[in-house]
Amino acid sequence: MSGIEGYTALVTGGGSGIGLGTAQRLAADGAHVTVCGRTEEKLQGAVGAITAAAADGVSVQYVVADVTVEEQIAEAVARAAEPTGKLDVAFACAGGSFQMGSILDAEFQAVRDTIDLNLLGTFLTIKHAGRSMVSTGGGSIIGMSSGAGHFPHRFLWAYGASKAGIEMMCEYAAEELGDRGVRVNAVQPGIIDDELMAMITAGGKLLDDYLDQMPVRRVGTVDDVAAAVRFLAGPESAWITGECLAVDGGHHLRRGANYGLLFE
């Protein structure tokens, strides 16, 4: 028994990167998986990849949904619960950044879009997944933070501030929902070799700066994060809530990366 066989799981931002890798891991361990995102073509490809990795009898589906639109994330939660009538796991992975650079030169709309996607998108996922789980006896919600949300990465402040908000929101939700059977935790990845970070992981001064600040001196993989989410999703972590788990090779022990190197 894997521990999550027969569970249902929703992964937002599940069309690529960490979201896709985590959806594959959950399906391989026996969970029925629903992925959501804004691009249908990408989601269709993701379903094929997840199905190929899935255990026997597992269902995989997608829902086109923007996590910043409440009606759409509510529909995604409802669809994810359909295989068994209960949602067991929600991984609020959708996120990104529309702003990089000095606070003094920042464009207001780019900052707002970054906060909306990361912080408000996670809020809506927690709200609707939490409602569903409370109504059926409990579950596990995992938020997606970042090292940038825990310690400063120069010029990545809008993204980092929104991720810091996610960490605190998960703590608040954990405190509120624990006695109703819902655990809420977060993962805090460092630099990961995926599509989002490919420009950095390809090499250069910024990658070297990352590696110089990591006791375990290597770039992380999608599988590294997926394993952490899988642990927080399942019964193995049944007495853990309100935790933010760094998956970063120890980067959090030192200083943040200097994104100013991209502007040199």
What is the CATH code for 8-263?
3.40.50.720
DSSP secondary-structure letter at 55? P
What mean pLDDT value characterizes the chain?
97
Residue 150 pLDDT grade (very low, low, confident, very high; cuts 50, 70, 90): very high
40 pLDDT more than 50: yes
**What are φ and ψ of residue 257, in 5° steps?**
-70, 155
- What is residue 1's predicted lDDT score, i.e. its pLDDT? 45
Is residue 210 among the annotated active site residues?
no
Distance CA 180, CA 108 (A): 39
If you average pLDDT over residues 104-130, what whole number do you get?
A: 98
DSSP-derived secondary structure for 108-129? HHHHHHHHIIIIIHHHHHHHHH
- Planar angle of CA 14, 20, 24, nearest 5 degrees: 125
Task: Give me the residue spans of the domains in the chain.
Answer: 8-263
User: What are the start-end ranges of the H helices in the chain?
Assistant: 17-28, 40-53, 70-81, 108-115, 121-136, 157-177, 198-201, 205-212, 222-233
> How far apart are alpha carbons 100 and 241 in whole angstroms?
32
Note the pLDDT tens digit of each residue in 223-255: 999 999 999 999 999 999 999 999 999 999 999
Residue of 7, 62, 159, 259 marked catalytic = 159
> Which listed residue (86, 163, 210, 259) is catalytic?
163
Q: Is 7 a catalytic residue?
A: no
* Tens digits of residue pLDDT in 58-99: 999 999 999 999 999 999 999 999 999 999 999 999 999 999
